[in-house]
Amino acid sequence: MHPAFSVVFFTTATGAGYGLLALLGVLAGQGFVPPDFWLGLVGMGLALGLISAGLLSSAGHLGRPERAWRAFSQWHSSWLSREGLASVATFVPAGLFAVGWVFLGRTNGWVAVAGLLAAVGAVATVCTTGMIYASLKPIAQWHSRFTLPGYLIFSAMSGSVLLNALLQAFALGSTIVLAGCVLLTLLGWGWKLANWRYNDRLEIPTNANTATGLAGGTVRSLEWPHTEENYLLKEMGFRIARKHKARLRQITQLLAFALPVSLLIAAFGLPWPYAAVLSALATSAQFAGMLVERWLFFAEAKHTVTLYYGR
């Protein structure tokens, strides 16, 4: 598949934003995070800002962005429509939670309820985003047991690293949060390696013979369907060289997993502000690494429609 940067940024930014929103909604609502004005302003601003930036970026991939509102009407059959509805609905409790925390200085009572509802909405939205890809049977690399859990794991991972950096910046760092970041990043690393291993061993059952029903011999086209690249080939016929794929996988492992884990472990034994600096570096490295990981997620996917073009 063609890895459009708008969609790559969308999945990376909203994943981190919803992960941070869910953690803030649960932890602040239960009293584990103090109802500090600046902490709430920066934390909720960062979470909602990432979500909004990602959603706006995704509109850039639409041929007619002004018609995007029509997608909301297809919620009964489209995961894309359900994602849109879930994302909009989540802004309601998230906004109430932010108002209660920032302007009223409280995270208990009805504000805590709003925080929990925002967390539920964030998880639901990430699930619908993952199902957009997991439900696509023509793309075997996505239509697997790894896609939906991977979206949830990466959202929790990037959200927790963001939360840790936020708390460290306000000298509120916690060893429990640090340990959670390390464990989630290691979980994400292991899940990504397992996903890559699965995709590399994947045998696509569909070919030109099965598509035409001609079991004997080898079916091949006498002529190309088109004399030049068309929309389907540009969007779904993207190919990446094996050496480039291997190098990008190494970069992903370094930036998204290995470097953040090393920096977070080092932060355990350092006082503030050194721990805050390392936490900020871990966040930056992981976000860059997840951009590469998402690019590969699209670039390595193969749509069965390319069989029609002899690929």
139: three-class secondary structure by DSSP: strand
Domain around 267: 5-309
Give the per-residue pLDDT at 127: 96
- Report the 10 Å Cβ neighbour count for 66: 8
pLDDT tens per residue, range 118-142: 999 999 999 999 999 999 888 888 8
Cβ(141)–Cβ(196) under 8 Å?
no
Q: Is the pLDDT of residue 229 over 70?
A: no
Number of domains in the chain: 1
Average pLDDT across the chain, whole number: 87
Of the pLDDT bands very low, low, confident and very high (cuts 50, 70, 90), residue 278 is: very high
65-74, 127-136, 183-192, 285-294, range with the lowest pLDDT: 65-74
DSSP 30-80: TTSS---HHHHHHHHHHHHHHHHHHHHHHHTT-SSGGGGGGGGGGTTT-HH
Per-residue confidence band for 245, with pLDDT thresholds at 50, 70 and 90? confident
Question: Model-level pTM?
Answer: 0.90
What CATH number does the domain containing 242 carry?
1.20.1630.10
pLDDT in tens, 12-71: 999 999 999 999 999 998 889 988 999 999 999 999 999 999 888 877 666 666 666 666
